[in-house]
Structure 1
């Protein structure tokens, strides 16, 4: 009799979306892991990037320091994707690193020898690819969270979700998403800026 009741209960839970909740929850977890992996990949590139630029533009200390500090701040955050405040802090730190990298890339335009350095070109390619992967991973995560949240808020799955303690999960907010949406510009195809005209010698 007990076995029959368990089988009936399992059938009811399955019909009410319990198994689908598990699958969607795991998909969100996997999507978040991919987001973290790609952001870590970018952070790991920063020290080599800074050192390479420093070899040609050591006097650009302010920009180099900003990138290093932004990277350090990212590494200090223990993000919890289920906590709104923690996720917002994580996004803000990643946005600061994106902005710092953008400023660094703008500085690089003034150093044609650096732009021709093979080590730098390799880093450029890796950074560009990583920024693309971040965009893809973040976009996929947004969709997975939206799908999960919509599912557990719909009837009758919402009853099962409440019964087992499943709650909606925070997502990238519009404000912070706008802050980190634009990847740093890493296109070095343009020529170096022309030197300003020199004043004619007095005579």
Structure 2
């Protein structure tokens, strides 16, 4: 009888230690996801802060392109709104990226603008920020994958359900340029 109680107590302790370890693992992963999202948010704010300067620089050379400037401003305002989920933020950022693409298309028509040191510096800063956002997106999505795997896997999903841990949302790029398959061409040169 005593042996059975000792075995039962050991089993209860083992299950309890396992449950505590799983719970703490969920907390750690949730915090990593939140930290990674905050890092992306910092870079997105940096991007949003660069855009008005870029628009003003282009306006100085192409003042008649009012529709493009308004589109960029609207997209920036929507993307700057706080409280968006990663999916909603991704959609807003994709709209902003498309608007910026049209702004850069306008800039292509003005060689003096492209040669402007201010424009080049802003373009370089924006490119650097985009690179940091992409790196942050990879880090964030890796943490989301780890959390989602743990939430969905047995037996850890038992603890996830008990303590209401849920899947996190990925931050995905919808930019066609990012998703496009690179085109490789071998011209008729040398024939």
Question: What is the distance in 1 between the residues matched to 2:176 and 2:143?
Answer: 18
Matches within 5 A, 1:39-188: 39-79=44-84, 81=85, 87-172=86-171, 177-180=172-175, 182=177
Q: Report deviation, 1:68.
A: 1.0
Unaligned runs of 5+ in 2: 1-8, 179-191
Cα gap change, 1:69 to 1:75, in 2 (>3 Å): same
Question: What is the distance in 2 between the residues matched to 1:29 and 1:178?
Answer: 19
Q: Report deviation, 1:24.
A: 0.9
Deviations 1:15-66 (A, max 9, x none): 4x22211111111111111121111111110110000111111111111111
Q: Report deviation, 1:12.
A: 3.3
Matches within 5 A, 1:27-46: 27-46=32-51
Structure 1 residue matching 2:64: 3-state secondary structure: coil
Structure 1 segments, 4+ long, off by >4 Å, are none
Contact 2:147 2:167 in 1 (8 A): yes
Deviates more, 1:132-141 or 1:45-54: 132-141
Contact 1:135 1:181 in 2 (8 A): no
Q: Report deviation, 1:116.
A: 1.6
Unaligned runs of 5+ in 1: 82-86, 184-203
Aligned residue pair count: 168
So what's the TM-score if we normalise by structure 1?
0.75
Superposition RMSD on alpha carbons, in Å? 2.3
Structure 2 residue matching 1:66: 3-state secondary structure: helix
Cα gap change, 1:102 to 1:70, in 2 (>3 Å): same
Match of 2:20 in 1: 14
Question: What is the distance in 2 between the residues matched to 1:160 and 1:41?
Answer: 38
Contact 1:94 1:180 in 2 (8 A): no
Q: Report deviation, 1:178.
A: 4.9
Cα gap change, 1:134 to 1:182, in 2 (>3 Å): farther
So what's the TM-score if we normalise by structure 2?
0.79
